[in-house]
Homo-oligomer: A and B are copies of this chain.
Amino acid sequence: MSRWEPNARDRLALAALELFEERGFERTTVEDIATRAGLTKRTFFRHFSDKREVLFAGGEDFKAVFVDALAAVAPTVAPIDAVAVSLEAGGAALQDRLEFARRRQQVISANAELQERELVKLASIATALAEGLRQRGVEEPAASLTAEAGIAVFRIAFERWVTAPDDREFGELILESLQALRAVTASA
C-alpha cells in the first residue's frame, strides 16, 4: 500500500461522522474510523491528532477568516458594523458545507465534552475579535462587548442555519440576528 492515499483526509472525516452518528462519539475508536475508511490507524494519525480533531480541525484557519476580514474593513466603519463584516466572512466560509455542518452539530449536541470544546472555540474567536477591535482604536469595555455580542449573533445564526428546515443563507441569518440584537438593546 502506498503511503499516499487519495482523499484520505476526506474519507476519514466522512467515516468518523458516520460512526459518531451510528454509535456515538464515545463508543467510536480511531481503529473503527480507519477500518470504515479502508485505511490504517497510521494514516489516520497523519491527518488528525485524535478523533475529536476530526470535528475541530481547521479551527485556526477558521478564526483567521474572522480576524483577516475585520482587519480589512475601513477604519471609519463603526465597530459593530466591522464585526458584522467579519461574521459574514466566517459564515461565507461555511456556506457550502451545510450538510457537514448539520451532521457535525448533531454529534456535538449529543456530547457534553464536545459542546465545551465548541464553546472554547467560539470564545477564542471572540477574544481575537476584541484584540482586532482594540487595534482599530476601540477602547475597553466596548471592544470586548462588541466582540462577544458579535459571537453571540454568529452562534445563534449558526444554530438557526443548521436546524432550520428552510435552507436560508447563513449570511442572511447573521444579518437578521444582528438586527434582532440591535432591536433588543435599543428598547427603552
Q: Is A183 part of the binding interface, using a Cβ–Cβ cutoff of 8 Å?
A: yes
- What copy number does this chain have within its complex? 2
Are A141 and B156 in contact, with the CB atoms below 8 A?
Answer: yes
Q: Is A120 part of the binding interface, using a Cβ–Cβ cutoff of 8 Å?
A: yes
Q: A142 touches which one: B81, B160, B180 (CB < 8 A)?
A: B180
The residue in chain B whose Cβ has the minimal distance to the Cβ of A147 is B152
**B contact residues around A181 at 8 Å (CB):** 145, 149, 185
Are B145 and A80 in contact, with the CB atoms below 8 A?
Answer: no
Bound complex: CA of A116 vs CA of B80, how far in Å? 26
The residue in chain B whose Cβ has the minimal distance to the Cβ of A138 is B184
Given known A116-B116, A119-B120, contact A141–B180 (CB-CB < 8 A): yes
Q: A149 touches which one: B79, B120, B144, B149 (CB < 8 A)?
A: B149
**B contact residues around A182 at 8 Å (CB):** 185-186
Give the interface centre of A142, A145, A149 by most chain B CB atoms within 10 Å: A145
Q: Is A78 part of the binding interface, using a Cβ–Cβ cutoff of 8 Å?
A: yes
The 7 closest A-B pairs by CB, nearest first: A148-B152, A78-B187, A185-B185, A146-B184, A145-B181, A141-B156, A119-B119
Are A184 and B79 in contact, with the CB atoms below 8 A?
Answer: yes
The residue in chain B whose Cβ has the minimal distance to the Cβ of A139 is B180
Are B160 and A141 in contact, with the CB atoms below 8 A?
Answer: yes
Which residues of A (115-153) have their CB < 8 Å from a CB of B?
A: 115-116, 119-120, 123, 141-142, 144-146, 148-149, 152-153
Q: Is A155 part of the binding interface, using a Cβ–Cβ cutoff of 8 Å?
A: yes
